[in-house]
A = this chain, B = another copy of it.
């Protein structure tokens, strides 16, 4: 392996001088620089990143903890993160928890051991121990998708999205609106979206039947099952359904299609997430664009600002956009 010492010798200068031309720091004569650059060119020398890290205490690596990479939201976020980080010479060290909450905590430690300069957590829950642990980290950290006191975070306005979407149904004349949600330990997706729905219904004085409220997990099948429950158990059938993710909505539509329920005439339906497929289902699914890539970019900017001791925002709430389509 060729090191800075070899370059120095072959160029007839000291290691310090090589270091200087490498880092464009300090004074180096035109002559010496030329010689060093020539030798570097010839040898194909590349400085050792970890030796550098040992000195500078910087790794130029950001750890990213996520629940899965197989759904569109996190993968879009990672794309945004990567795009912004690579502009500044940072790389992403991936930590996939596979929806295992224990691993979330483990990876926090592991990434610290790896001496990452910062961490981004794509969060699915806000359990106290997790937040506690994050606060104790002496590494810049940004959470995406969930809100929390004292932790820098980038979120969506889940509550108002839910109110807006519910109101959209109502403006279209619907009064009996069902809801397919997820577990409330996911505060953003599970709790806030449900609360927005309830509050908007209440604001209009519309009652909500217990059977209209169903819960799934983050896949298509559970959307199917949720809709099945809604259709088979409700005393009064709803005329619209608000699903908190596109996949749930698509599963629900799948049930409706199978049982001859027409969308949107018999049942209007909308999701959230602007998944690619949403515009190709039949009818095209109304949804909400959350700008996930931008979330990733924003998180990257904040963490870089933090690392470089610049001012950063503790809380960023991103815009959203309803995408009106024929399913409503």
The answer to whether the Cβ of A160 comes within 8 Å of any Cβ in the partner chain is no
Complex alpha-carbon distance, A243 and B184, angstroms = 41
Write out the residue numbers on chain B whose beta carbons fall within 8 Å of the beta carbon of A51: 54
Of chain B, the residue at the smallest CB distance from A59 is B50
From B48, B70, B79, B115, A49 is in contact (CB under 8 Å) with: B115
Write out the residue numbers on chain B whose beta carbons fall within 8 Å of the beta carbon of A79: 68-70, 96, 98
Which of A7-15, A140-148, A277-285 forms contacts with chain B? A277-285
Complex alpha-carbon distance, A72 and B75, angstroms = 10
Complex alpha-carbon distance, A79 and B94, angstroms = 10
Say how far A121's CB is from chain B's closest CB, in angstroms.
16
Complex alpha-carbon distance, A61 and B52, angstroms = 17
The answer to whether the Cβ of A53 comes within 8 Å of any Cβ in the partner chain is yes
Q: Which residues of A contact B (CB under 8 A)?
A: 46-51, 53-54, 59, 61, 64, 68-70, 72, 75-76, 78-79, 82-83, 86, 91-96, 98, 109-110, 112-115, 219-220, 250-251, 254, 257, 276-277, 280-282
Known: A46-B112, A93-B94. 19 other contacts (CB 8 A): A50-B59, A50-B115, A69-B75, A69-B82, A75-B75, A78-B94, A83-B96, A86-B96, A91-B93, A91-B94, A91-B114, A92-B94, A93-B93, A94-B94, A219-B276, A251-B280, A277-B277, A280-B281, A281-B281
24 contacting pairs across A/B (C-beta < 8 A): A48-B115, A49-B113, A50-B54, A68-B79, A69-B69, A69-B79, A70-B72, A70-B79, A78-B96, A82-B96, A91-B93, A91-B94, A91-B95, A92-B94, A219-B276, A220-B277, A220-B280, A250-B277, A250-B280, A251-B280, A277-B277, A280-B281, A281-B281, A282-B282
